[in-house]
Amino acid sequence: MRRLPLLIVAAFATAGTTFAAERPPGLKEAETAAKAALGVDCLMRDPEETPVVADGTEDEAGHTVYTVKYRPSWYSADQPDAEATLYKLLCSIGAYNLQSAFVIKTPDDEVPRLLSFANPELGLDYADEDQTTLKNPPRITGYKATSILVNARFDPQTATITSRGLWRGIGDAWDHGRWVFRDDAFVLTRYEVNPTFDGFDNEKTDEGITILDLDGRPKP
Residue 212 burial (CB count, 10 A): 18
Phi-psi region of 78 (alpha: psi -120 to 50; beta: other; left: phi over 0): alpha
Give pLDDT tens digits for 115-139: 999 999 999 999 999 999 999 999 9
Q: What's the confidence (pLDDT) of residue 4?
A: 33
**204 phi and psi angles, rounded to 5 deg:** -75, -30
Beta bridge pairs of residue 173 = none
**20 phi and psi angles, rounded to 5 deg:** 30, -100
DSSP labels, 125-144: -BSSTT--SBSS--EEEEEE
Give pLDDT tens digits for 57-80: 665 678 999 888 888 888 888 888
Domain parsing of the chain, residue ranges: 1-115, 116-220
Q: How far out from the chain centre does Cα 214 lie?
A: 17
Q: Which stretches of the chain score pLDDT less than 70?
A: 1-21, 54-60, 201-206, 216-220
Q: Which helix (H) or strand (E) holds 9?
A: strand 7-10
Q: What's the confidence (pLDDT) of residue 59?
A: 59
**Buried b vs exposed e over 163-199: b needs ≥16 C-beta within 10 Å?**
bbbbbeeebbbbbbbbbbbeebebebbbbbbbbbbee
